[in-house]
Amino acid sequence: MSDDPDVDLEARLEETAAFQPPEQFVEQANVSDPDIYEEFEANWPACWEGAADLLDWDEPYDQVLDDSNPPFFEWFTGGQLNASYNALDRHLDERGDEAAIEWIGEPTDEANRTYTYAELHREVNEFAAGLRDLGVEADDVVTLYMPMVPELPIAMLACARIGAPHSVVFAGFSADALATRMNAADSEYLITCDGYYRRGDALEHKAKADDGLAGVEHDVETVVVDRLGDAYDHPTGEHDHAYADLVAANEGTTVEPVSRDAEDMLFLMYTSGTTGEPKGVKHTTGGYLSWVTWTSQAVLDIEPEDTYWCSADIGWITGHSYIVYGPLSLGTTSVMYEGTPDFPEKDRLWEIVDAYDCTQLYTAPTAIRAFMKWGSEYPAAHDLSSLRLLGTVGEPINPRAWKWYYKHIGDEDCPVVDTWWQTETGGMMVTTLPGVGEMKPGSAGPPLPGLDVRIVDVNGDPVEEGRAGYLTVNRPWPGMLRTLYDNDERFVSEYWSEYSDTDSDDPDDWVYFPEDGAKIDEDGYITVLGRVDDVLNVSGHRLGTMEIESAIVGVPGVAEAAVVGGHHDVKGEAVYAYVITEDGYDPDEPLRENIIDTVEDAIGPIARPEAVVFTPELPKTRSGKIMRRLLEDIANGEALGDTSTLRNPDIVDDIAASVGDD
C-alpha cells in the first residue's frame, strides 16, 4: 500500500478486467432487463417492431422484413414516414421551447447558439423552401460540403423534408474528393460554407469547394453559408446563392414533409474501400431511422431531458447517426462543437461538459489517448459530475485508455460503451448494453440483441475462443446499407461474396462481411482487432491505401509506391509510404515534401504520411505481390520473420535501415 490513494486506485484499476454497470445507472437505464437478448432471439425479426414503434409513421408498414431477394433485404416495407418530421415536428407540442441543438463555435468570444425545436423546425422549413426555389426535387442528390456549423444539420433535415437524399462530404476532404463524390452521385446541388475556425484561424473553405466544382462534369447550383462574415470577402459566381437570402426569401414558410417509402434513400455516404473508388453507401428512411433511434435509446441511454454530446464531425457517419438523426428523433438536446479539443486550452471539452451539464459523452479512442497524454489535470479542473454515460467508437480502444476514460472522465460512476459499427451498418452493432452487461476494457462486448455475429476462420467455421478470426454478421438488420449507389454488383462482391452462397435464394445462406478481424471470449464478448483489407484507420477515420498510393504515383519522379499503416500512440494508425523513384530522380527533401503535399491535396490533411521512405525496391513475393505485412512490421519496428519466400529478401534490411534513419 502506498500513501497516495491515487496510486492505489491506479493499481486496482490496472488489475481489474471487468466492471459492473454502476447501480445508480442501472436503476434509471432505458434498458436494464437482461432477458432482452432471449426475447429478441425468440421473436426475430418481429423484435424490430419496437424500434420502428419509436417513430411516427404516415402509413404503417405491412412487413417487418422482406428477405425474398437476398442480399437486397428490405425493412418495414409498405410503410411511409418522413425523417425531418420525426426529428422535429412531432416534438413541437411538448418540447418546442426546449433546446434541440446547442451549438458552440470555436472562438471563445463568440456567442453560442441555441436552437429550440421550434426554431430549428422554422429554419429547416425555410431552407427546405429555399431548396425548392433552386429546383431541388425529391430524389435529387444534394451534396453538403460543410464544417461543423448549425446550417449543416439544418440542411440535412431540409433535404430529408423534401425527400432529397443528402451526400455529406467531410469538410476536411480535398477538392478532388468532393469532385469525385459529386460526379459519382450525379449531384447537381452543393451546399457549402465560406470558411470556419480552426485553432484560432479563419480557414477559407469556399475556394476549396470551387476547386472541386471545376472538376465536376455538370452545372451545379451552389448555396453558400456565411460563417466568417467580414473575415472573408464573398465573391459570388453565376451559380452561387447566399444561404441567408434563400432563408430570408422564405421567412415563415412551412413545407409539408414529403411522405417517403421506408425503403426510399435518406442519404448517401461515401467511404473508403480497397480500390481507389470510394463507395457510395445507401441508407434508407425507415430502417436506418429506426436503427439509430433505437440504439440511441438502448445504448446511449438518451432521454429527452438529457444534454447529450457526441464530439464527432457530422461529416462522418457517427455524426449523422448520433448527433443528428438518433438524438433528435428522441427529442433530446444534442451538443455540437465547431472546434478542436485543445483550443484555446486543452480543457475545452471539459469546460463545455461543465458549462452545459452534459449527461453523455460519445467520442473516439484517438481523442481519449490525446487527453491521457495531456494529463488528468485538465478534466480535474472541471465539474464533470453531470455525466451519466461515456461512449467510444471508431477503432479499438486499448484497456489503459478505457480505464483512464472510466476514471478521469467518468469518476468510476459512468458505464463506458465501446461500440463497434461501420458506415455500412448505419448504427451500433457490437457493444454492451450499459444497464445490463458487465464491461471488459478492450472488448466491445456481445452483439446487440437480435444480431447474429460470428467470428469465423477462412472457411466460415467458428474459431475457438480467444483465437483471431473474421467478424461476420449472419442475419440482416434494419440499419444495414441497402446497396452501393448505382452499383449493386459491387455491393454484393464487397460485402456478401466471402462467406455467402451467392447462388442461393435462401436468406440464411447470405453472410455480411465487414472486413474486420476479431476474437471472441467464453462470455461471447468480441474484441475487434482491426481491418483485414487494405484500409487504414487513422484517428478513427477510414483511408484506403490505394487512394493514397494513386495520389503518390502521380507525383513526377515517383515510379512505384506502397502505403501501409504503422502503429501510432495517439492516432492508432499512421500512414507510412514506401516510394521508389524513377531512374534519374533523386529521392531528396523537395520530392518528399511534394509527395506529402500531393497526398494532402488529393485526399485531405488526415491522410498526410507520417513517413515517406525512399527505397530502391519493394519486398515482393515471387508472384510479384507487395508484402504489405512486412512493410507494416518495418514501420512498427518489429522483428522480421522469415523472408525467404521473397523475390528480393535483401531489400528488407535496407528498408528497415532507412526507416530507422528517419
Q: Which residues bind ligand WT7 (CB under 6 A)?
A: 271, 316-318, 393-396, 418-423, 444, 514, 516, 528, 530-531, 537, 540, 542
Residue with Cβ nearer ligand WT7 (241 or 541) = 541
Q: Which residues of 348-361 are buried (b: 16+ CB within 10 A; e: fewer)?
A: bbbbbbbebebbbb
Least Å distance, CB 318 to ligand WT7, is: 5
Residue 345: CA atoms inside 13 Å, Cβ hemisphere, count? 9
Q: Which is nearer to ligand WT7, 520 or 656 (CB)?
A: 520
**In the structure grid, which three cell numbers stand for residue 130, read together?**
429555399
Q: How far is the CB of 395 from ligand WT7 (least distance, A)?
A: 5
Helices (H), 185-226: 206-214
Question: Which lies closer to ligand WT7 via its Cβ, residue 190 or residue 444?
Answer: 444
Q: How far is the CB of 494 from ligand WT7 (least distance, A)?
A: 12
Pairwise CA distance, residues 147 & 336, whole Å: 11
CB 472, min distance to ligand WT7, A: 12
Return the DSSP state at 405.
I
Nearest to 451 by CA among 418, 421, 475: 475
Q: How far is the CB of 424 from ligand WT7 (least distance, A)?
A: 7
The cell for 78 is: 409498405
User: CB-wise, 261 or 573, nearer to ligand WT7?
Assistant: 573
**By C-beta, is 261 or 547 nearer to ligand WT7?**
547
In the complex, the smallest distance separating the C-beta of residue 570 from ligand WT7, rounded to whole angstroms, is: 16
* Beta carbons within 8 Å of 489's beta carbon, 6+ residues apart: none
Query: Of the two residues 128 and 317, which places its CB atom closer to ligand WT7 in the complex?
Result: 317
Q: CB 119 → ligand WT7: shortest distance, Å? A: 29
Per DSSP, the chain holds a count of helices (H) and strands (E) of 23, 30
Long-range contacts of 366-370 (CB under 8 A, 24+ apart): 366/394, 366/395, 366/539, 366/540, 366/570, 366/571, 366/572, 367/311, 367/341, 368/392, 368/397, 368/401, 368/402, 368/404, 368/405, 369/398, 369/401, 369/569, 369/570, 369/572, 370/341, 370/342, 370/570
Pick 86 or 537: Cβ nearer ligand WT7:
537
With a CB cutoff of 8 Å and minimum separation 6, the contacts of 150 are 101, 103, 113, 115, 336
At closest approach, how far in Å is the CB of 223 from ligand WT7? 27
Any idea of the CA torsion for 345, 348, 354, 357, to the nearest 10 degrees?
170
* Closest CB to ligand WT7 among residues 471, 659: 471
Instruction: Give a three-class secondary structure readout of 437-469.
Output: CCECCCCCECECCCCCEEEECCCCCECCCCCCE
Measured CA to CA, the distance from residue 455 to residue 41 in angstroms comes to 19
* Between 232 and 421, CB nearer to ligand WT7: 421
Of 278 and 540, which CB lies nearer to ligand WT7 in the complex structure? Answer: 540
Q: What is the DSSP letter of 406?
A: I
Q: Strand, coil or helix: what is 37?
A: helix
Facing residues of 562 across strands? 578
Shortest approach of ligand WT7 to residue 474 CB, angstroms? Answer: 17
Residue showing the smallest CB distance to ligand WT7 in the complex = 423
235's torsion region: left (phi>0), alpha (psi -120 to 50) or beta?
Answer: beta
In the complex, the smallest distance separating the C-beta of residue 17 from ligand WT7, rounded to whole angstroms, is 18
